[in-house]
């Protein structure tokens, strides 16, 4: 019996895991400079794109787990980067809104994507786009429901 299929060198999932860890390490220094963790940075990018959204919309946009999101939002509120406010139309809903400090942080973060992109010396822009498209397919396939 051969167990070739169990070798790490044949595993796409392990390559994705290693890439994810490498990317997290690459972001560590520039994000430390603006006092954010990577998940907090993802939340900030979502809010810079669309401010004053519900927690459910933020979870959908970022793909961050709900319980993790609660902790992230609490820490970011403690840093005065955002506020959790009641929706004027539906008092049961909570909206996430950037504070002035949260909006101002965008200016400090504007160079981060370029700093990370320049670490990808072996990948040109077309390859990066293809990789993103391939990863979108992986994410889609792994997240689709059984009845689709």
pTM of the model: 0.88
CATH of the domain at 69: 1.10.10.10
Does 82 map to a domain?
yes
pLDDT tens-digit map of 87-129:
888 888 889 999 999 999 999 999 999 999 888 899 999 999 9
Q: What is the pLDDT of residue 123?
A: 92
- In a domain, residue 29? The reply is no
SS3 state at 124: coil
Q: At 57, is the secondary structure helix, strand, or coil?
A: helix
Judge whether 125 lies within some domain: no
- Cβ atoms 41, 27 nearer than 8 A: yes
Q: Chain centroid to CA 18: how far?
A: 17
Q: Is residue 45 part of a domain?
A: yes
- The pLDDT value recorded for residue 98 is 98
* Residue 69 covered by a domain: yes
Q: Is residue 131 part of a domain?
A: no
95 in Cβ contact with 84 (< 8 Å) = yes
Q: In which domain, by residue range, is 81 found?
A: 37-110
Are the C-beta atoms of residues 127 and 85 closer than 8 Å to each other? no
User: Which positions of the chain have pLDDT values less than 50?
Assistant: none
Q: Please say whether the beta carbons of 55 and 69 come within 8 A.
A: yes
Distance CA 53, CA 75 (A): 18
Q: Is residue 128 part of a domain?
A: no
24 contact partners, CB below 8 Å, separation of at least 6: 38
Backbone angles phi, psi at 98, to 5 degrees: -70, 145
Number of domains making up the chain = 1
- Residue 62 domain flag: yes
């Amino acid at each position: 019996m051969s167990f070739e299929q169990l070798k790490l060198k044949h595993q796409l999932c392990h390559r994705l895991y290693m890439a994810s860890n490498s990317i997290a390490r690459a972001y560590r220094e520039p994000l430390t400079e603006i006092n954010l963790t990577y998940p907090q940075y993802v939340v900030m990018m979502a809010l810079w794109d669309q401010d004053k959204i519900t927690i459910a919309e933020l979870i959908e946009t970022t793909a961050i787990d709900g319980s993790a999101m609660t902790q992230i939002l609490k820490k970011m509120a403690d840093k005065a980067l955002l506020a959790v406010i009641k929706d004027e139309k539906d008092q049961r809903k909570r909206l996430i809104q950037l504070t002035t400090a949260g909006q101002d942080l965008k200016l400090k973060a504007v160079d981060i994507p370029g700093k990370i992109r320049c670490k990808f010396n072996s990948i040109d822009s077309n390859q990066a786009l293809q990789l993103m498209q391939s990863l979108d397919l992986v994410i889609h396939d792994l997240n689709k429901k059984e009845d689709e």
